[in-house]
Structure 1
Amino acid sequence: MKVAVSVLGLAAIAAAHGYHEEDQTPIEGPHNALWYNTLPGDGGTQADSVFSGISTFGRIQYHPCLTSRSVKYDIAFIGAPFDTGTSYRPGARFGPSGIRQGSRRLNLYLPLCSRRVGFSGGYNVPLKANPFNSWAKVIDCGDIPVTSYDNGYALQQIEDGHNLLLSRAPYTDADKPGPAKKDRTLPRLITLGGDHTITLPLLRSINREYGPVSVIHFDSHLDTWKPKVFGGSPSQQASINHGTYFFHAAQEGLLANDSNIHAGIRTTLSGPSDYENDGYCGFQIVEAREIDKIGTDGIIKKIRERVGTEKPVYLSIDIDTLDPAFAPATGTPETGGWTTRELRTIIRGLEGINLIAADIVEVAPAYDTNAELTTMAAADTLYEVMTLMVKKGPLSGMKEKEERLELKA
């Protein structure tokens, strides 16, 4: 009798909060023998607890995408465990696994009382969407195998691995025209770094499919340094690192001119000329301290005005955008950064922008606290990015919108 009362009570609470069986899917798992029925007619399987099981991003399904060309998806997470392009703290090679660990609580909750009042979690309240339960097939593809002994070869591995996943047909609307070359519709990839050097091979991969793209760059550092200034450039391989990759991207024609933006900048400079020299890469600069005067809405407005809402946009997020109080585990920490709440608010303000791919980098778990502050902040930031992509809809819609605008003109 006590069990029946409990179940009825929970059902009433669920109804009061709008959790209805027709729009809330309970989580199931592989453990048939461990499911205990609490109401007649109930069945199913028992899912892992949020603190157990193998870690994938947000506990989504894992597929070894690099070994199977038949796997299709709309959004895929892929790791790039590379950190030999750093100038200060190494350790971001453990970033992908750390971020996945920090993402455990984003999804997969299941009350044991009854499937009738079960729910999957993952609903993004500010954005009013559940990226884990939508039109999009979202999976975790694991990590790109990356050597730690040869930077040049490692960057080629990252480019080729990313492109192998990017260039295949998506799960949804594969036959509809999209914004990629030859009017193709492609899936979206979210890459878990790795130090920021990985953005260069990722942009090279993007360029192979889209051509030059606009970039939104969240960071405390410019990362547009000329190799002879940053690192001395004793060799071609040494000239590519986490402070120079945007210089190389600009030189290679990977960036759409004058439509790129840095946000969160607060780096130490040799002088004002460093900002002037940044101009050759086509970036506008938004300093971290500007938030004190114009607030998060002002930062959002600057970004949206710079990149627009029509063209393909790549989003790169260095976790050191956050103040070390909120994200201590990073390669080159800088005080005076934004809070986790501020960054997430700004990311949410990018709704409607055509994000075709994204990365988060410089998460070095060895420098984190036992509370996993940095890895959770990184995971939660990507949760916002993932939600934006889901709310935007399939990339095929971008091409349809472009065609409508052309007809109107």
Structure 2
Amino acid sequence: MMVKSILSTLFFTALVLAHGDHNAQSPIQGPHQSLWYKAFNKIPGDGGTQADSVFSGISTFGRLPYFPCLASDEEQYDIAFMGAPFDTGTSYRPGARFGPSGIRQGSRRLNLYGGYNVPLDANPFNSWAKVLDCGDIPVTSYDNAYAIRQIEEGHNALLTRSPFTNAKEKGFSKAGLTLPRIITLGGDHTITLPLLRSVTAAYGPISVIHFDSHLDTWRPRVFGGAPTAQAAINHGTYFYHAHAEGLLANDSNIHAGIRTTLSGLSDYDNDGYCGFEIVEAREIDTIGTAGIIKKIRERVGKKPVYLSIDIDTLDPAYAPATGTPETGGWSTRELRTIVRGLEGLNFVAADIVEVAPAYDTNAELTTMAAADTLFEVMTIMVKRGPMSLDWKEGERGD
């Protein structure tokens, strides 16, 4: 009876798969040679490999192949996930150093049924792009200045390698090369400063789409008091420094999801000084997701774009595990809808930050929300194609 039950289950599963995506659907392969066949040797089988269950095996983002890219350059990639476990620039709750591992844990089910993104009509796990999880940058927790340097150099080492696809095609980096794209798992939001330094070294001043409940353009003397040069760089001031260092493309940057309290309306003046337009979180009640998407797309146009997503863009009901939660935020569905609406933009790199798993629920609400949002970002990058394609001379915009 047991054998008949197993055979019935396998037959039913085969029927379901047969009516799925005929072009892409295939079982996830794994490293375990013929374990199913050996355990049930009376059941006909092809003696193939047996994949890990979704709850077993080593955690990588979306169960992607892992390669220690900072230890070896033997593997090429088109998109790489990289962790930056840093949280000593936060002003409230620490814990985002565990964000990269938490997000990977929250991403386990992304590829369970084959990884097809239905709204975007694409499968980022089964496409032209070679995608890897490159592990984490080794970041010290004892010296912020040195940690920031480690993040910048680690990111730039991955960003400036030849991609797996179209490596010899002309691209729109400053050197005229096609480069891979890096998606960084944070880490508190301080990490965006060294990441922007890396991206700007490769592309020149960059336009930024910033999802957050906070402005993060505070002057150091206002946010943190700036008793030392090291203390002046934190998760509330990094955009101030990015502007001062010439990393940002002027008048093409935008915040979305803002709802923080301020010392006064003059705080917005500094935000404009750093080249940002603001979309308040509450605007979703009047212009909807479509209106927010329209504002963002009009602001950045066809320029190279860096995407930075603070998980506190979401309301704490959807993402409680974050360093500085603010009520009145968007739902996970709304954020994913808005991100999907940015399809076609020229994202050269991205990050998601401020995921602090220790404050999450047992249901892993925050880490799953972060992983699912990056699933949208990853799909958009794949649909856009290699960075060498569909780019016209003279449209760099810097």
- TM-score for the superposition, normalised by structure 1: 0.92
Match of 1:216 among 209, 222, 237: 209
Distance 1:332 1:251 in 2: 25
Match of 2:20 among 4, 18, 21: 18
Q: Which amino acid aligns with 1:164?
A: A
Match of 2:171 among 171, 178, 185: 178
Does 1:295 pair with 2:288? yes
Q: 1:38 to 1:158 in 2, by over 3 A?
A: farther
Amino-acid identity (%): 77
Match of 1:337 among 329, 337, 352: 329
Say which SS state the counterpart of residue 279 (structure 1) adopts: helix
Task: Give the structure 2 partner of residue 77 of structure 1.
Answer: 81
Q: Which amino acid aligns with 2:381?
A: M
Distance 1:368 1:405 in 2: 43
Distance 2:287 2:384 in 1: 27
How far residue 8 of structure 1 moved from its aligned partner, in angstroms, is 4.3
Match of 2:269 among 276, 283, 286: 276
Distance 1:332 1:66 in 2: 31
Match of 2:344 among 352, 376, 380: 352
How far residue 12 of structure 1 moved from its aligned partner, in angstroms, is 3.3
Q: 1:405 to 1:163 in 2, by over 3 A?
A: closer
Distance 2:357 2:306 in 1: 25
How far residue 42 of structure 1 moved from its aligned partner, in angstroms, is 2.4
Q: 1:2 to 1:153 in 2, by over 3 A?
A: closer
Task: Give the structure 2 partner of residue 91 of structure 1.
Answer: 95
Say which SS state the counterpart of residue 25 (structure 1) adopts: coil
Does 1:371 pair with 2:387? no
Note the 1:120-135 alignment, pairs <5 A.
Answer: 121-135=114-128
Does 1:191 pair with 2:184? yes
Mind listing any 5+ residue stretches in structure 1 that lack a counterpart?
110-120
Distance 1:8 1:296 in 2: 43
Say which SS state the counterpart of residue 140 (structure 1) adopts: strand
Does 1:100 pair with 2:104? yes
Q: Which amino acid aligns with 1:23?
A: A
Q: 1:14 to 1:69 in 2, by over 3 A?
A: closer
Say which SS state the counterpart of residue 392 (structure 2) adopts: helix
How far residue 27 of structure 1 moved from its aligned partner, in angstroms, is 1.3
Cα deviations across residues 301-330 of structure 1 (Å, max 9, x unaligned)? 00000001x211000000000000000010
Task: Give the structure 1 partner of residue 199 of structure 2.
Answer: 206
Q: Which amino acid aligns with 1:224?
A: T
Match of 1:402 among 369, 392, 395: 392
How far residue 6 of structure 1 moved from its aligned partner, in angstroms, is 4.8
Note the 1:315-326 alignment, pairs <5 A.
Answer: 315-326=307-318
Distance 1:62 1:202 in 2: 22
Say which SS state the counterpart of residue 349 (structure 2) adopts: strand
Task: Give the structure 1 partner of residue 243 of structure 2.
Answer: 250
Distance 1:33 1:345 in 2: 41
Say which SS state the counterpart of residue 79 (structure 1) adopts: strand
Task: Give the structure 2 partner of residue 381 of structure 1.
Answer: 373
Distance 1:298 1:268 in 2: 24
Distance 1:346 1:186 in 2: 26
Task: Give the structure 1 partner of residue 46 of structure 2.
Answer: 42
Distance 2:11 2:97 in 1: 49
Say which SS state the counterpart of residue 291 (structure 2) adopts: helix
Q: 1:14 to 1:229 in 2, by over 3 A?
A: same
Does 1:139 pair with 2:138? no
Distance 2:17 2:263 in 1: 59
Task: Give the structure 1 partner of residue 320 of structure 2.
Answer: 328
Distance 2:221 2:194 in 1: 21
The alignment yields a C-alpha RMSD, in angstroms, of 1.7
Q: Which amino acid aligns with 1:402?
A: K
User: How many pairs are equivalent?
Assistant: 390
Say which SS state the counterpart of residue 294 (structure 1) adopts: helix
Say which SS state the counterpart of residue 397 (structure 1) adopts: coil
Task: Give the structure 2 partner of residue 392 of structure 1.
Answer: 384
Task: Give the structure 1 partner of residue 30 of structure 2.
Answer: 29
Say which SS state the counterpart of residue 67 (structure 2) adopts: coil
Distance 2:135 2:389 in 1: 28
How far residue 28 of structure 1 moved from its aligned partner, in angstroms, is 1.2
Distance 1:4 1:368 in 2: 40
Distance 1:148 1:178 in 2: 36
- TM-score for the superposition, normalised by structure 2: 0.95
How far residue 4 of structure 1 moved from its aligned partner, in angstroms, is 5.5
Distance 1:93 1:31 in 2: 33
Q: Which amino acid aligns with 1:395?
A: M
Distance 1:60 1:169 in 2: 20
Distance 1:9 1:217 in 2: 46
Say which SS state the counterpart of residue 106 (structure 1) adopts: coil
Mind listing any 5+ residue stretches in structure 2 that lack a counterpart?
none
More helix by share: 1
Distance 1:337 1:41 in 2: 51
Say which SS state the counterpart of residue 363 (structure 2) adopts: coil
Distance 1:25 1:38 in 2: 24
How far residue 165 of structure 1 moved from its aligned partner, in angstroms, is 0.4
Q: Which amino acid aligns with 2:278?
A: I
Q: Which amino acid aligns with 1:123?
A: Y
Task: Give the structure 2 partner of residue 116 of structure 1.
Answer: none
How far residue 40 of structure 1 moved from its aligned partner, in angstroms, is 5.0
Task: Give the structure 2 partner of residue 162 of structure 1.
Answer: 155
How far residue 69 of structure 1 moved from its aligned partner, in angstroms, is 1.8
How far residue 83 of structure 1 moved from its aligned partner, in angstroms, is 0.4
Contact 2:170 2:177 in 1 (8 A): yes
